[in-house]
């Protein structure tokens, strides 16, 4: 029985969850909320370092409210979150609300997707894409 270390989408508390139970809507041992979300959760600077930890990959969509392609990509990102529960966590980072973190991440264009695992950046992709292309890109990175 392999356990996965997964930060809670709500409180960022780390939870050890058996891999075969990831699809069973596990609850956080800290805040009792669902650890995994079927929708992208909001990521901000104070929780960033804790959220990128863990064995379950985290895909971050860096966006801004004024960005047309970002708004157009949002429904696709939500669809991906629903399909990838227990495989990959998805989060949205508002670049305007978190300018220092956006700078730290080296964001030069939006939307930008950054894939993290075990506290490290694994891959990066700029620009919106359709769902099949997004899922294929994740598969190329070993997710899915």
Catalytic residues, by residue number, are 67, 70
How large is the angle between the packed helices 68-83 and 131-140, nearest 10 degrees? Answer: 60
Identify which of 66, 67, 7, 47 has the alpha carbon closest to the alpha carbon of residue 31: 7
Cβ-proximal residues to 132 (8 Å cutoff; 6+ apart), any chain: none
């Amino acid at each position: 029985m392999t356990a996965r270390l997964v930060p809670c989408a709500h409180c960022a508390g780390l939870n050890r969850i058996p891999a075969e139970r990831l699809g069973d809507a596990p609850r956080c041992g800290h805040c009792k909320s669902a650890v995994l979300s079927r929708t992208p959760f909001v990521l901000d600077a104070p929780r960033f370092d804790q959220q990128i930890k863990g064995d379950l990959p985290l895909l971050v969509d860096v966006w801004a409210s004024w960005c047309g392609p970002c708004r157009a990509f949002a429904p696709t990102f939500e669809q991906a979150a629903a399909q990838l529960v227990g495989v990959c966590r998805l989060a949205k980072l508002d670049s305007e609300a978190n300018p220092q973190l956006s700078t730290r991440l080296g964001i030069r264009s939006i939307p930008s997707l950054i894939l993290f695992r075990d506290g490290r950046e694994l891959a990066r992709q700029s620009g919106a894409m359709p769902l099949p292309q997004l899922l294929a890109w994740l598969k190329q990175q070993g997710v899915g």
